[in-house]
């Protein structure tokens, strides 16, 4: 029954012993590694593309000088998450305070969705890996009982194959699921931290908006 698999995995004896379920576990692990590297790039290496420290300092100076058109232009041509949030507030600078707050909140939610990308998939992969490990245990036991039924208990080599399949897939599922859970937890905490920075800076702008609202600037809504 498993001859095709053993032939396919002749160069990977450990995977061959784990049975076909190991192929799905390898696929899950590859996805986890890809997501891990992508999120490291976005959430750690390119942090300034999210919170925009240099941008925010310049934005604050323009707001203090009431140069709202320049502030809007700066937001328009800046690719950070913070710039998109603040621009949403600037669009409603002549409107009611609650509209400004609502615009900032909506923009913040959109950016948070982008920061949280793939995190749900990570949690799913952790759960699926555990279930695949369990499935491999079941298929290994089925294989074991099939050998016993066909050949009797006197063939230790065949019996060992079923036991190896059951144990290897269980171990493989745990080896993938445990780090994936830790990675998911770390990135979730990282997203919460970055979201806190965005919220803090949006709140600072919101506190200034009452003064800006009274000035009735000539900023055109775009």
pLDDT at residue number 156: 65
CA 215 to chain centroid: 42
Average pLDDT, the chain: 84
pLDDT at residue number 19: 72
pLDDT at residue number 222: 43
How many CB atoms within 10 Å of residue 221? 10
pLDDT at residue number 7: 55
pLDDT at residue number 6: 54
Alpha-carbon span 115 to 104, nearest angstrom: 16
Each residue of 206-216: pLDDT tens digit? 888 776 665 55
pLDDT at residue number 132: 93
Position of tokens 């450990």?
A: 14
Q: Are 47 and 81 in contact (CB under 8 A)?
A: no
pLDDT at residue number 70: 92
CA 168 to chain centroid: 28
Any residues with CB less than 8 A from the CB of 90 and at least 6 apart, and which?
68, 71, 72, 75, 219
pLDDT at residue number 221: 45
Q: Which residues, given as ranges, of the chain have pLDDT below 50?
A: 1, 11, 217-222
pLDDT at residue number 202: 92
């Amino acid at each position: 029954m498993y001859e095709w698999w053993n032939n396919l995995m002749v160069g990977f004896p450990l995977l061959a012993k784990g049975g076909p379920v190991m192929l799905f576990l390898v696929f899950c692990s590859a996805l986890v590694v890809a997501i891990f590297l992508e999120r490291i790039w976005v959430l750690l290496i390119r942090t300034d593309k999210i919170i925009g420290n240099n941008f925010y300092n310049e934005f604050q100076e323009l707001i203090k000088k009431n140069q709202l058109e320049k502030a809007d232009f700066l937001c328009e041509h800046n690719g950070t998450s913070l710039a998109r949030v603040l621009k949403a507030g600037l669009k409603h600078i002549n409107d009611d305070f609650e509209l400004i707050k609502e615009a900032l909140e909506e923009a913040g939610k959109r950016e948070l969705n982008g920061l949280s990308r793939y995190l749900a998939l990570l949690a799913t992969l952790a759960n699926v890996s555990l279930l695949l490990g369990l499935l491999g245990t079941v298929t290994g036991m089925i294989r074991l009982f099939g050998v016993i039924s066909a050949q009797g208990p006197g063939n230790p080599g065949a019996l060992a194959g079923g036991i190896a399949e059951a144990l290897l897939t269980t171990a493989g599922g745990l080896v993938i699921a445990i780090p994936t859970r830790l990675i998911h937890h770390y990135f979730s905490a990282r997203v919460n931290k970055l979201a806190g920075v965005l919220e803090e800076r949006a709140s600072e702008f919101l506190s200034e908006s009452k003064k800006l609202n009274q000035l009735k600037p000539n900023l055109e809504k775009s």
